Structure 1
Amino acid sequence: MRYKNGREALPPSLLKEIQKYIQGDLIYIPKATEERARWGEKSGARKELAQRNAEITLHYTKGWTVPELVQKYHLSSESIRKIVVKTW
C-alpha cells in the first residue's frame, strides 16, 4: 500500500467534502469489494477448534470428568467448563 495525495487521487468536490471530517492526517480507504474473513477461516483453525469443542462436549456427555478432559486436551478446567456450557 502506498501513499497517494488526495489532490491527485480525488475530484475537488470530494476532497472538499472529506476535508470537512479530516485534514492533514493519513486515512485508509478499504477496497469496496473486500470482505474480511473471520479469524481462522482461511487457515481452517476455526473449523478445527469447533470440531475439538464438539468432541469435548461429546466426551463430557458420555461421562468423562472435567479433570479427565483437562488431561486429554491440555486446557484449563475453566476452559473445559466454558466449552461444555456454550455448546449446551
Structure 2
Amino acid sequence: MEYTNAKHILPNKLIEEIQQYIQGETLYIPKQEKATRTWGSLNNGRQWIDRRNADIRQAFSNNKSIEQLAKDYFLSVDTIKRIVYTKQKK
C-alpha cells in the first residue's frame, strides 16, 4: 500500500476538518464500491473457472467418477466433490 501526504492532494479546509477526528495517524480511505472489481474480472479468470466447473458438473452427470475427474482436471477429490455437490448460483 502506498501512502500519500494529505497536504499534497487535499485542500487545507478538508485537512483541518479531518484533524478534528484524527491527527498524525495513518488513515485508510477505501475505494468507492463502484470502483472495486470482482476477482478475475480483469483477466477473465472467473469465467474460465465457471466454464471448467460447468464441464466438470456435466461430466459427473454423465457418470464420470469423481476420482477420474480429479485426475483429468488435476484437482483434489475434495475439490471435485465441492464442485459437483454445491448448488450453482444463478
Superposed pair shares fold, TM > 0.5 = yes
Q: 1:24 to 1:34 in 2, by over 3 A?
A: farther
Bigger relative contact order (CA 8 A; separation at least 6): 1
State the number of aligned residues. 87
1:24 aligns with 2:24: yes
| Aligned partners of 2:67 and 2:77 also within 8 Å | yes
| Aligned partners of 1:57 and 1:87 also within 8 Å | no
Instruction: Report Cα offsets for 1:52-79 as digits up to 9, x if no partner.
Output: 0000000000101111101100101100
Q: 1:60 to 1:33 in 2, by over 3 A?
A: closer
**Which segments of 5 or more consecutive residues in structure 1 lack a partner in the other structure?**
none
TM-score, normalised relative to structure 1: 0.77
Q: Aligned Cα RMSD in Å?
A: 2.7
| Aligned partners of 2:56 and 2:69 also within 8 Å | yes
Amino acid at match of 2:5: K
Q: How far apart, in 2, do the equivalents of 1:44 and 1:8 lie?
A: 34
**Which segments of 5 or more consecutive residues in structure 2 lack a partner in the other structure?**
none
Structure 1 position 9, deviation (Å): 2.2
Structure 1 position 19, deviation (Å): 2.1
Identity of aligned residues (%): 30
| Aligned partners of 2:56 and 2:84 also within 8 Å | yes
| Aligned partners of 1:39 and 1:46 also within 8 Å | yes
